[in-house]
C-alpha cells in the first residue's frame, strides 16, 4: 500500500466478497473505485450489481456492465477448442479461459477512465490471481495491481462477514451460516471448490452440481444432434446456423438435460499445491468431442499428431495464466493454420451422462473408402509397397538387433 492510488478499476460481481473489497478500497486507499461487471453468461442478473455499486457511491459513469458473451466464445473458447485443450488430461479450462478477457476489458476501462490501478477479488492461494495479474501486466506493464486478499487482515470468512456487517454491507442470509463453496461460473462452465470437497475421497454430493441434472435423472431416451463446423469453429446446431455464444448456450441446455460434463478432479495449481474441484462443462464437453470428431475426418495425420503433442503445453499455458504471451500466440498460430479445412458435420448421441460421436461427414474429408476398403480397391493402394515401407522402417532396428540381442 506504499503508492498513492487515485482511481482503481475493480472486477466487480456485486457479491459479498467484491462488495467488501469495493468498500475496503475506498477506505484503505482513499481512492475512487470504478466497477466493471462482465456478462460472460454466468446466468446471473447484472442489474443488481449496478444498484449496489451506486449505493456504494460509485459514480454513474464509473459503473461498467458489459455483455462479453459473444467475444468470450468467439475469441477465447473457440480458439482454445481448436487445440482440443485439456489440462491434466481432463479439464476443459472453463475458469482459466475467462480470466484474460475480464483482465483485458479492465485494462481498457482503466485506460478510458484514466485509472492508475486495477483490483480483483481472487485469493492468494489460487490460480486466478495469477491469471488476472499476468494479463494486466502484459497489456499494461506499469499498471498498479491491488489484490486485497493478499493485503488485508481478513484472514477468515468469519472476519470478512464481521467486517461487512460493521460496514453496512448486506450479507446474504445463507452466507451467515455455513461458509459457501468457492465457485466460478461463465458460459463455458461452473466450478466449485472447498468445504466437503476438500476431502478427495468423499464423493461430490449431488447438491453441489448446479448446471447439469444427475445422469440418473436424465431422459431414458438418447437424443441425437448434429453440429456443423467451418474452419475449426462450430457454426450450426442441427443444421441451423447460430452465433458462437448461441451455439454454446444451446449445447449447455442439451448437456444439462442429459447430465453431461460433470468432472471430479484433483488438479495441480500453478502456485504449487493440489486442489480438488468439481466442474460442470455441459456444452463444452459436447463441443470438444464434436471438434475432435470433425478433425478425425479432415485433419492430416501429421497435423493431428503435432497438435496432440503441443496440446498439453498449450493447456498448461492457459491454466497458468499465460494467454497473453508470445508462446501461447505461437502455438495458436500453428493450431489455427491446421484448421483451414476442418469443416463438416458431426453427429452425436447424448444419453445419461455420456456423449459420443456416432458419425461425421465433410466435403473436405481425407478418408478414402476406395483406399481403405477390405474389398478389391482397383489398384488404389499397392500392398507390396508395404513390404518396402516395413523393411526400411525396420533397418535401424535390425542393425541394433544384430549388435545388442
Annotated active-site positions, please?
A: 17, 99, 128, 182
112: contact with a second copy by CB under 8 A? no
Separation in Å, CA 24 to CA 28, 64, 118: 6, 19, 14
163: contact with a second copy by CB under 8 A? no
Out of 38, 101, 118, 139, name the contact with a second copy by CB under 8 A: 139
Find out whether 314 and 83 touch, Cβ atoms under 8 Å.
Answer: yes
Out of 56, 83, 147, 254, name the contact with a second copy by CB under 8 A: 147
Binding mask 10-49 toward a second copy (x if CB under 8 A, else -) reads ----------------------------------------
Query: Which region among 92-100, 120-128, 166-174, 229-237 touches a second copy (by CB under 8 A)?
Result: 120-128
The candidate with the shortest Cα–Cα distance to 62, out of 39, 34, 37, is 34
End-to-end alpha carbon distance in the chain = 69
Round to whole Å and give the CA distance between 168 and 55.
11
Binding mask 199-228 toward a second copy (x if CB under 8 A, else -) reads xxxxxx----------xx---x-x------
Q: Report the half-sphere exposure of 244 (CA within 13 A, side-chain side).
A: 20
- For the beta carbon of residue 276, count every other beta carbon within 10 angstroms: 17
Out of 37, 95, 106, 140, name the contact with a second copy by CB under 8 A: 140
The candidate with the shortest Cα–Cα distance to 248, out of 289, 189, 187, is 187
Out of 303, 318, 342, 343, name the contact with a second copy by CB under 8 A: 303
Total residues binding a second copy (CB under 8 A):
134
176: contact with a second copy by CB under 8 A? no
Establish whether 248 is an annotated binding residue: no
Query: Which region among 11-19, 20-28, 230-238, 372-380 touches a second copy (by CB under 8 A)?
Result: 372-380
Cβ burial, residue 198 (10 Å; 0-12/13-18/19+): exposed
- For the beta carbon of residue 109, count every other beta carbon within 10 angstroms: 18
Nearer to a second copy by C-beta: 65 or 236? 236
Nearer to a second copy by C-beta: 59 or 367? 367
Establish whether 116 is an annotated binding residue: no
Binding mask 223-262 toward a second copy (x if CB under 8 A, else -) reads ---------------------------------------x
Within 327-356, the residues that bind a second copy by CB under 8 A are 327, 329-331, 333-338, 341, 347, 349, 351-354, 356
Round to whole Å and give the CA distance between 34 and 57.
10
Nearer to a second copy by C-beta: 51 or 367? 367
Separation in Å, CA 371 to CA 159, 236, 388: 70, 31, 18
- In DSSP terms, 368 is beta-bridged to none
Helix, strand or coil for residue 359? strand
Find out whether 263 and 278 touch, Cβ atoms under 8 Å.
Answer: yes
Out of 88, 165, 206, 223, name the contact with a second copy by CB under 8 A: 88
Find out whether 73 and 82 touch, Cβ atoms under 8 Å.
Answer: no
54: contact with a second copy by CB under 8 A? no
* Minimum CB–partner distance for residue 272 and a second copy (Å): 3
162: contact with a second copy by CB under 8 A? no
> What are the binding residues for L-aspartate?
123, 127-128
Amino acid at each position: 500500500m506504499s503508492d498513492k492510488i487515485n482511481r482503481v478499476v475493480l472486477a466487480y460481481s456485486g457479491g459479498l466478497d467484491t462488495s467488501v473489497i469495493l468498500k475496503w478500497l475506498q477506505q484503505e486507499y482513499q481512492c475512487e473505485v470504478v466497477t466493471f461487471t462482465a456478462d460472460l453468461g454466468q446466468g446471473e442478473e447484472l442489474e443488481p450489481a449496478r444498484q449496489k455499486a451506486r449505493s456504494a457511491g460509485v459514480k454513474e459513469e464509473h459503473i461498467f456492465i458489459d455483455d462479453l458473451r459473444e467475444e468470450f466464445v468467439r475469441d477465447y473458447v473457440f480458439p482454445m477448442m481448436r487445440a482440443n485443450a485439456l489440462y491434466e488430461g481432463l479439464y476443459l479450462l472453463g475458469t482459466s479461459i475467462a480470466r484474460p478477457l475480464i483482465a483485458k476489458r479492465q485494462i481498457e476501462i482503466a485506460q478510458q477512465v484514466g485509472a492508475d490501478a486495477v483490483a480483483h477479488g481472487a485469493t492468494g492461494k489460487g490460480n486466478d490471481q495469477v491469471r488476472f495479474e499476468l494479463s494486466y501486466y502484459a497489456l499494461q506493464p506499469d499498471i498498479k495491481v491491488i489484490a486485497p486478499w493478499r493485503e488485508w487482515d481478513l484472514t477468515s470468512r468469519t472476519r470478512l462477514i464481521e467486517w461487512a456487517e460493521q460496514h453496512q454491507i448486506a450479507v446474504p442470509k445463507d452466507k451467515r451460516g455455513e461458509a459457501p463453496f468457492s465457485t466460478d461460473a461463465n458460459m463455458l462452465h461452473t466450478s466449485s471448490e472447498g468445504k466437503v470437497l476438500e476431502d478427495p475421497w468423499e464423493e461430490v454430493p449431488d447438491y453441489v452440481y448446479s448446471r447439469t441434472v444427475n445422469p440418473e435423472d436424465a431422459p431414458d431416451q438418447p437424443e441425437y444432434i448434429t453440429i456443423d463446423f467451418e474452419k475449426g469453429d462450430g457454426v450450426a446446431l442441427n443444421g441451423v446456423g447460430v452465433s458462437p455464444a448461441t451455439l454454446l448456450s444451446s449445447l449447455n441446455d442439451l448437456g444439462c438435460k442429459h447430465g453431461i460434463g460433470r468432472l471430479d478432479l484433483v488438479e495441480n495449481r500453478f502456485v504449487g499445491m493440489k486442489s480438488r474441484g468439481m466442474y460442470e462443462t455441459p456444452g463444452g464437453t459436447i463441443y470438444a468431442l464434436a471438434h475432435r470428431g470433425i478433425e478425425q475426418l479432415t485433419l492430416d495425420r501429421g497435423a493431428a499428431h503435432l497438435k496432440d503433442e503441443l496440446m498439453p503445453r498449450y493447456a498448461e499455458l492457459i491454466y497458468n495464466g499465460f494467454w497473453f504471451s508470445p508462446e501461447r500466440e505461437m502455438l495458436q498460430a500453428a493450431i489455427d493454420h491446421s484448421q483451414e479445412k476442418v469443416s463438416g458435420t458431426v453427429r452425436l448421441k447424448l444419453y445419461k451422462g455420456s456423449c459420443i460421436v456416432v458419425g461425421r461427414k465433410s466435403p473436405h474429408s481425407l478418408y478414402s473408402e476406395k483406399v481403405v476398403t477390405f474389398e478389391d480397391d482397383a489398384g488404389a493402394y499397392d500392398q507390396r509397397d508395404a513390404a518396402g515401407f516395413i523393411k526400411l522402417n525396420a533397418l535401424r532396428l535390425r542393425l541394433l538387433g544384430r549388435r545388442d540381442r
